[in-house]
Amino acid sequence: MWIGYLAYENALLGSLEQSTGNANDGVQTAATGVVALRKLASQTGASSDVLYRAASVMVSVLPERLRDSRLAVQYAQRLAVRSHHQDPNSLLILAQAYLEDGQVEKAAQAANEGLSHLPQQLPGTSAVRCRVLLEYALKNR
């Protein structure tokens, strides 16, 4: 499990280095993380944590040429199946992967499904992060 965590952190660190400095900074670090996550997530018995991290990276890593929306969708679908489509965070990453892959209607379906598993937001309270991002996925279709 720590290998997946390290790979995820490498991808994030490499992306951060690129966004805050020279465009070439961090590319190798990010690429190393992406390769490791692809290898781990492609295994039949990949953990939910690895699938979540891999799908997340595949839709957000910099440079964009390291992204793979098709794989992100595959990993996110496997993650959603593992949770029996009951986990809003799994459905969030699925909606994000669908959006990145251009599957707008499927993204909306996943976002709505995720929202249906969250408790109602009480007036005057702050929305939880997952709700905000699921609603964002619905608005940006």
pLDDT digits (tens, 9 = 90+) for 36-61: 999 999 999 999 999 999 999 999 99
From 1.10.860, 1.10.10, 1.10.8, 1.25.40, which CATH number describes the 68-141 domain? 1.25.40
User: Rounded CA gap, 96 and 104, in Å?
Assistant: 10
Entry pTM: 0.90
Q: What is the overall mean pLDDT for the chain?
A: 92
User: Rounded CA gap, 17 and 80, in Å?
Assistant: 31
Position 4 pLDDT exceeds 70: yes
* Percent with pLDDT over 70 in the chain: 97
Asked if residue 75 lies in contact with residue 54, where contact means CB atoms within 8 angstroms, the answer is: yes
CA-based end-to-end distance of the chain: 34
